[in-house]
Chain A
Amino acid sequence: MEKERYIVVLEDQQKKSLRKVENELEVTITSSEFLSSENRSYEVIDNDNGVLYKNLGVLVVENMDEEQLKSAVKNDSNPIVYFEKEREFFSADELSIINELKKQSAEITDKISELEKYITNKPLPQKSLIEMEWGLKALNIENSLYTGKGIDICILDTGIELSHPDFSGREIEGKSFISGESWDRDPNGHGTHCAGIAAGNIRLDNGKRYGIAKDANLKIAKVLSDSGKGTTSSVIDAIDWAITKKFRVLSLSLASAVKLNDTPSPLFETVGARALENNCIIIAAAGNDSSRPSVPKPVSSPANTSSIMAVGAIDGHMKIAKFSNAGLNPATGGSVNICAPGVDIISTYPKNSKNKSSNYYAMSGTSMATPHVSGMMALYMEQFPEKTAKEIWELAEAKAKPIEGLKYRDIGSGLIQA
Chain B
Amino acid sequence: MKTYIAVLKKDIDIENLEKELKKKNIKPAAHYTSIGVVKLESEKPVYLKDFEEYFISVEEDKNIKIE
Contacts and interface: CB of A to CB of B under 8 A. Distances in A.
B14 interface: no
A400 B30 CA distance: 39
A184 interface: no
Interface of B: 3, 5, 7, 30, 32-37, 39, 56-57, 59, 61-67
B36 A231 contact: no
B64 A230 contact: yes
Contacts of B39: 233, 236-237
A228 B61 contact: no
Given A266-B56, A267-B59, A235 B34 contact: no
B34 to A, nearest CB: 4
Interface of A: 157-158, 188, 190, 223-224, 228-233, 235-237, 239-240, 243-244, 253-256, 265-267, 270-271, 274-275, 278, 285, 287-288, 300-301, 365-367, 370
Contacts of A253: 66-67
A237 B30 contact: yes
Contacts, number: 100
Given A224-B65, A254-B66, A236 B37 contact: yes
B35 A233 contact: no
Given A266-B57, A267-B7, A267-B57, A228 B65 contact: yes
Contacts of A301: 62
A228 B66 contact: yes
B47 to A, nearest CB: 14
B3 A233 contact: yes
A274 B36 CA distance: 8
Nearest to A342: B67
B30 A256 contact: no
Nearest to A275: B35
